[in-house]
Structure 1
Amino acid sequence: MIFYFSGTGNTKWAAARLAAATHEDLISIAPYMRADDSSHNIAEPFILKENERLGFVFPVHGWRVPRLVREFIRKMKITSDATTEGNKKMVRKHPFAYCVCTAGDSIGLTIENLNDTIALNASLQALGITEVSASYSLIMPESYVGLPFMDVDPKEREVRKKSKSAQELAVICEEIFDRKEGVNRLVKGPIPWFFTKVVGGFFENVLITDKRFHVEKDKCVKCGICANVCPVGDIKGGHGEYPEWLHHKDCLTCFTCYHHCPHHAIEFGNQTQKKGQYFYK
């Protein structure tokens, strides 16, 4: 079972490759966290099959696990379909749990942030999962454009990153298939505690907001793509309508709406003017 969240597609690509390699179910987290999607109920427990691996695949936001993913892990319920002999449950080793995170550069203490979140979930603890047994980071093309000095990667660097990450992911898939424990292949970067604790806190408290997003109406063709791709349903609109951000505090500032706009009609304050766009193709 693989739980994943993806905005611009880097993580969805990695999660799909993992699902193909392990032959295990791929489950998108976002629908379970949307108030407007009654077809997904997080209150219902997920059933982990016998010998099934448990994976968490997500992008790094501000050197941390995205808020939406942390909230999902805290709230989710998961049980095992362990067989029973009479009234006695058969004892098995705890499930193999792992994570793969994608980032444009470094991840800081993202895995420690993840393990702290796992420790808050009683159903995971009941399965013997107190932390991930293996963790990996993949450096992917940059998509964060919310600060003056940050932009998408030049095309040549984007291609190099994709090629290298594909090779690394092939190895990761093999190790996860083999349930290789104790692997921590991570690009934490310099002074990881500072970026996760201090800079990450600034990201969450100040930079994660939909209030700076706006549409340039002279460029917008009212195609509705931005509303359709928003993973948290924070944009009202559709074909024939200008987009309107709902300000319901679920926005992750993942820039999925910005990157998918075919006419570059969406801006984030004045930070994104003349900047590039990227989503995984």
Structure 2
Amino acid sequence: MIYYFSGTGNSYKVAAQLAQSTSTKLADMSSVAVDVPVCDDAVVGFVLPVYAWGLPVFVEQFVKSLPRGVRHKYVYAVLTCGDDMGYADVLLRKALRRVGWQLDAVYVVQMRNTYVCLPGFDVDSPDVQQRKDRAFGQRMTHVATCVANRAPFDEREVLRGAWPWLKSYVLRPLFNKLLISDRRFSVDASVCSQCGACVRRCPLGNMRMGADGLPQWHAGKCTHCLRCYHICPHHAISYGKFTRGKGQVKINL
């Protein structure tokens, strides 16, 4: 079984290819979060994006809901990130340990940048995106081989980046406290076509269409995946002034 969470499609792409390579079933965390099934597979994987050098808030909640004390022969995680991951794997290992699960190995796959909600953060340039695309196939072949062989943890398989402790243990808590909120999301009524794509595709059901035909947030379940921002066909959604002039990525889910 591979449990995955994906906001803009990066982690889904990894999970789908890994499932095909290893003949494994997929389970979307956002679909099974209410009642996580007990998985008796010998090999269990988690595929998820790195948010602020840590875990998405939703994934933290999902891990807490896992059946406790279940033993598997091999548990691994594949983390996707645009640049680096800090100590996100350590945070995941600790979260799993609290429910009696052991994380045996971690792999990182560098994907397209999708975070656009702070100054200096934007989608990748075409050249950077092409470089990542070229490296993707080879990296996935390597990860699938390691999983098939139940390889142990290897520090060379992760991408911590500069100042990982500062990022994961100082900046990340501040980020979660100050920025993980849907309060700054808004829609430009002059551009919005009222197609409802953002509402239908929100993975956590955090949106609805208002009486005026425009999308609304504020259901208290936002994990800041930015799917609503990137999926809008008219680029009508913004996150305060942070996303002014920022790009979008194509959603493939």
Place the TM-score, normalised by the shorter chain, in its bin. Answer: over 0.9
Q: Which runs of 5+ in 2 are unaligned?
A: none
Please, what TM-score do these two structures have when normalized by structure 1? Answer: 0.84
Identity %: 34
- 1:109 alignment partner, one of 81, 87, 96: 87
Q: For 2:114 and 2:129, locate their aligned partners in 1 and report how far apart those are by CA, in whole Å.
A: 10
The count of residues paired between Structure 1 and Structure 2 equals 250
- 2:221 alignment partner, one of 238, 245, 250: 250
- Corresponding residue for residue 125 of structure 2: 154
- Corresponding residue for residue 227 of structure 1: 199
Q: For 1:203 and 1:162, locate their aligned partners in 2 and report how far apart those are by CA, in whole Å.
A: 29
What residue identity is the alignment partner of 1:60? V
Q: Which runs of 5+ in 1 are unaligned?
A: 34-39, 81-92
Deviation at 1:241, TM superposition (A): 2.4
Tell me, yes or no, if the aligned pair for 1:48 and 1:78 is still in contact at 8 Å: no
- Corresponding residue for residue 238 of structure 2: 267
Deviation at 1:27, TM superposition (A): 0.3
Tell me, yes or no, if the aligned pair for 2:229 and 2:237 is still in contact at 8 Å: yes
- Secondary structure of the 2:45 match is strand
Deviation at 1:267, TM superposition (A): 0.5
Tell me, yes or no, if the aligned pair for 2:57 and 2:223 is still in contact at 8 Å: yes
Q: For 2:66 and 2:32, locate their aligned partners in 1 and report how far apart those are by CA, in whole Å.
A: 9
- 1:167 alignment partner, one of 106, 128, 138: 138
Deviation at 1:95, TM superposition (A): 1.5
Please tell me the root mean square deviation across aligned C-alpha atoms, in Å: 1.8
Determine whether 1:100 maps to 2:92. Answer: no
Deviation at 1:102, TM superposition (A): 0.4
More off after superposition, 175-184 vs 227-236: 175-184
What residue identity is the alignment partner of 1:176? V
Please, what TM-score do these two structures have when normalized by structure 2? Answer: 0.93
Q: For 2:234 and 2:144, locate their aligned partners in 1 and report how far apart those are by CA, in whole Å.
A: 37
- Corresponding residue for residue 20 of structure 2: 20
Greater Rg, structure 1 or structure 2?
1
- 2:35 alignment partner, one of 38, 41, 57: 41
Deviation at 1:2, TM superposition (A): 0.5
Deviation at 1:280, TM superposition (A): 4.9
What residue identity is the alignment partner of 2:161? G
Which portions of structure 1, spanning 4 or more consecutive aligned residues, are displaced by more than 4 angstroms? Answer: none
Tell me, yes or no, if the aligned pair for 1:133 and 1:183 is still in contact at 8 Å: no
Deviation at 1:94, TM superposition (A): 4.3
What residue identity is the alignment partner of 1:155? P
Tell me, yes or no, if the aligned pair for 1:64 and 1:113 is still in contact at 8 Å: yes
Tell me, yes or no, if the aligned pair for 2:43 and 2:72 is still in contact at 8 Å: no
- Secondary structure of the 2:39 match is strand
